[in-house]
Structure 1
């Protein structure tokens, strides 16, 4: 019996017990939200790539943050939308892949936010050496490591789960995460535990570094009106993004480990997906509205489009009069 139970090819996901009308409504709302995420992040990516004036470290890191948002959400939304219209099951390979994408995206966010904090630290606290230190080559290396390290860490985490004997196939979530696979294991997964603790310590170090950077920045900027203006203009969006993301992830982790089974299913679903709902939408809004260069570029783009449309209408109007 144990052999049969441990050979798992499909997992069932929970939390989608809705009526047909509720599923259709939730599908439409989720699709709309996902399109907003795609549009907001893709707009910032295109603006930063097209405008050469935005090819600076701060905006390059922001561009990667938006790319990572698209990468992470593609691991959840398409499958979730499909589950709302069909049976909520997922293959073993699909579960491993989904867990890897969501976990690695979360870690990439922390790595990129750490880079952004370091960039602001050098720009404000060491302005004389900023351009000589934050060269294109060094920024490229920073960006490369901000992707490679999280992907490697999460690959090792996921790889340590492969081949483990499982005594169940029901995942008490709307999507797959590695911790849920660990809870289904027939015996403790020592390799996965070791890798998980290493990753936790590694990214806790990121978090400490970010907090130290902002504390140092705030203390430095408060002594100068000019520096405080720079902080409010360029650091406040990063700080808001960091706070939103950190609170969302911490709430998810704490609820996953210590959440009560007595809470409603709707609340459980929200706690499970809120870090995939809120930060991907908040980031484009915060950076697009707060950072002057991006805001001006977006406003000028809308203005040019509006002017072109008016010109076309006037041309058609004049052409119509001449034809008469």
Structure 2
């Protein structure tokens, strides 16, 4: 099969996943916009709560901030494009725009896995070696782990983008309403063995991370069962992590399995839900889960909001008195 294109600059992909009628278009736009703004608000609230309160500068909260920052990246790699497509009734994306979306979506995926692995290690040290926790998890080590999380994720994604960009394409039809690396690779009319090898290697790498998390939690559960305090600590700090990891893993598994083995004859709504769940649900519920379960964050966030409201009231009273 020969290429349909002379150069990548000429390629404009057609996205077939979005099927919104003119009647419902504005309803969908408003709903998705509210969902996006609420996701950003919840993540920023948790981030600012941690950084504004010195009592929340522990390693666990810094890793949680990193998780929320990554959640904002994941949400922002998806929502603005679909909002634009719905509002302007657009179903296309340029080649460069598609690669950019792929870069940030997969950066979010890789960083999420690595950050959850680091958080599992942090909980392992906190519960299994509590007396040595602050000696092992120093602030310098925490920032080093956060830096390495982003560095490895960026390197992993850069390799993936280079391998995807080298492909010669024979079609422009993507059966999704956003760009994914697997969807673009399926359009290639050249040998995609390097892409398949890349996917196998890094899938194995992330599966090894899952194994490390599993081993960590086997030891954490054993240590937690020895005392009432250990069980309480597990419920407060480890349970949110388990829920976050399970939700992200299942959501991503749905997308991977459908992208590899799914049928185009299945209902469009089901296909869309399965393909975007990992981009919508984890960034939304992560700050909610941690905010509800960690009393320190919940109480500090409440104090910050009360302080802001009282400050706003004081400013209004001052302005009112000065006008008099």
Q: TM bucket by the smaller chain?
A: over 0.9
In the alignment, the residues of structure 1 paired with residue 17 and residue 216 of structure 2 have an alpha-carbon distance, to the nearest angstrom, of: 40
**Matched residue count:** 320
In the alignment, the residues of structure 2 paired with residue 269 and residue 182 of structure 1 have an alpha-carbon distance, to the nearest angstrom, of: 19
Residues 205-255 of structure 1 show CA distances to partners (whole Å, capped at 9, x for unaligned) of 111111111122112211211111111111111111111111111111111
2:54 matched to which residue of 1? 52
Q: Does 1:110 align with 2:113?
A: yes
Cα drift, residue 197 of structure 1: 1.1
Q: Does 1:220 align with 2:230?
A: no
Q: Does 1:67 align with 2:51?
A: no
2:86 matched to which residue of 1? 84
What secondary structure sits across from 2:4 in the alignment?
Answer: helix
Q: Which runs of 5+ in 2 are unaligned?
A: none
2:32 matched to which residue of 1? 30
In the alignment, the residues of structure 2 paired with residue 18 and residue 307 of structure 1 have an alpha-carbon distance, to the nearest angstrom, of: 44
Q: Does 1:265 align with 2:268?
A: yes
Residues 4-60 of structure 1 show CA distances to partners (whole Å, capped at 9, x for unaligned) of 346451101112222112121111111000000110001111111111111110000
Kept in 1: contact 2:4–2:171 (CA 8 A): no
What secondary structure sits across from 2:14 in the alignment?
Answer: strand
In the alignment, the residues of structure 1 paired with residue 145 and residue 317 of structure 2 have an alpha-carbon distance, to the nearest angstrom, of: 50
Mark the CA change 1:196 to 1:52 in structure 2 (over 3 Å): closer, same or farther: same
Kept in 2: contact 1:6–1:167 (CA 8 A): no
Aligned pairs for 1:211-250 (under 5 A) are 211-250=214-253
Aligned pairs for 1:166-315 (under 5 A) are 166-308=169-311
Cα drift, residue 314 of structure 1: 7.9
In the alignment, the residues of structure 1 paired with residue 6 and residue 211 of structure 2 have an alpha-carbon distance, to the nearest angstrom, of: 40
In the alignment, the residues of structure 1 paired with residue 171 and residue 308 of structure 2 have an alpha-carbon distance, to the nearest angstrom, of: 56
2:162 matched to which residue of 1? 159
Kept in 1: contact 2:126–2:133 (CA 8 A): yes
TM-score of the two chains, using structure 1 as the length reference = 0.93
Mark the CA change 1:182 to 1:195 in structure 2 (over 3 Å): closer, same or farther: same
Q: Please tell me the root mean square deviation across aligned C-alpha atoms, in Å.
A: 2.0
Cα drift, residue 309 of structure 1: 5.9
Kept in 1: contact 2:18–2:176 (CA 8 A): no
Q: Which runs of 5+ in 1 are unaligned?
A: none
Kept in 1: contact 2:3–2:169 (CA 8 A): no
Mark the CA change 1:116 to 1:89 in structure 2 (over 3 Å): closer, same or farther: same
In the alignment, the residues of structure 1 paired with residue 310 and residue 183 of structure 2 have an alpha-carbon distance, to the nearest angstrom, of: 54
Mark the CA change 1:227 to 1:16 in structure 2 (over 3 Å): closer, same or farther: same
Kept in 2: contact 1:95–1:176 (CA 8 A): yes
Residues 85-106 of structure 1 show CA distances to partners (whole Å, capped at 9, x for unaligned) of 2221111111111111101101
Cα drift, residue 308 of structure 1: 4.7
Residues 172-227 of structure 1 show CA distances to partners (whole Å, capped at 9, x for unaligned) of 11111110111111133122122111111111111111111112211221121111
In the alignment, the residues of structure 1 paired with residue 83 and residue 316 of structure 2 have an alpha-carbon distance, to the nearest angstrom, of: 40
